[in-house]
Amino acid sequence: MIRKLSILDVPQALELSSAAGWNQTMRDWQRVLLLEPEGCFCLERDGRVVATTTAVCYEGRMAWIGMVLTNPDFRRMGFARQLMEYALQSLRSRGITGAKLDATEQGRPLYAELGFTDECLVERWHHPLSPSAPLTKPILPRFPTFHMDTIAFGLSRGDLFGLLREEKWVSSPELGFAFTRTGASANYFGPCLATSESNARRFVEWSLATNPGLPLYWDLFPENTAAVRLAKEFGFQPARRLVRMSLALQAGAKLPPTDPHAYYALSGFEYG
């Protein structure tokens, strides 16, 4: 049976992401449900959540697909396809114009069969032990400048940033902004938008100083060569490669294009 995922299902959903080795915490699952209670679905067998798919919608126009997970004991039974088809039909019925996602190597063939096309590459970089180095030039927090994200992403994600602000973040109208948050296996650097590579370096320094001695993930666009340079400079190593894909859900719909050079760090595979 396919139904909406609820807050009460979060412990079971967390078991799925943990079994897959993903980095989401219970709070990540809760945030997704708070952002889009109408777009989170699960497939239930004998009262047990065995597969999930989420679709966070921005401005009621574009959905971000994430958390496509299946219990290892129930794989190769078509559950991911059933949930994806159900979620996409739900989005179409709500008038959502398009959807995007970051596809793993395993998931990409399914998404291609459903009509998704490639946009660009996404890479996850990893630092096993963040150095405890002092900031060369501390950033003085100022009022949020998240409007930069609206320009770069093409849609407002104010609700997302409202929830992420419970984590650690820094923002300056001259520099940009950056977040870091707790993860299941490694803390996470991102999202980060910066007005220059030198300013992005300050945000990376801030993130490392905020997570001393802890493993850290950093998702980036490999086309952003400045972000890659910084990742290498600070000792990060590439760990995974995914493909960003998109799908128009309504005839003639145009989705905001991805600008790989706008972001120094992404928001996470469940947020875009």
- Whether 155 is in a domain gets the answer yes
Last residue of a domain, one of 119, 134, 162: 119
- Whether 189 is in a domain gets the answer yes
Q: Is residue 38 located within the same domain as residue 51? A: yes
Phi, psi of 66 (to 5 degrees): -155, -175
- Whether 253 is in a domain gets the answer no
- Whether 269 is in a domain gets the answer no
- pLDDT tens digits, residue range 72-90? 988 888 999 999 999 999 9
Question: Domain with 183 in it: what CATH number?
Answer: 3.40.630.90
Looking at the 3D structure of the chain, how many domains does it have? Answer: 2
Question: Domain with 10 in it: what CATH number?
Answer: 3.40.630.30
pLDDT at 140 (0 to 100):
58
- Whether 24 is in a domain gets the answer yes
Q: Are 199 and 121 in contact (CB under 8 A)?
A: no
pLDDT at 241 (0 to 100):
97
Q: Is residue 135 located within the same domain as residue 220? A: yes
- pLDDT tens digits, residue range 36-68? 999 999 999 999 999 999 999 999 899 999 999
Average pLDDT over residues 104-128: 96
Q: Could you write out the DSSP letters of every residue in 230-270?
A: HHHHTT-EEEEEEEEEEEE-STT--PPPP-TTT-SB---TT
- Whether 263 is in a domain gets the answer no
Q: Is residue 139 located within the same domain as residue 208? A: yes
Q: Is residue 67 located within the same domain as residue 168? A: no
Task: Decide if pLDDT at 25 tops 80.
Answer: yes
Q: Which residues, in sequence order, are CB contacts of 55 under 8 Å at separation 6+?
A: 36, 39, 40, 41, 63, 64, 65, 66, 87, 90, 91, 96, 99
Q: Is residue 57 located within the same domain as residue 72? A: yes
Q: Structural domain of residue 97, as residue ranges? A: 2-119
- Whether 257 is in a domain gets the answer no
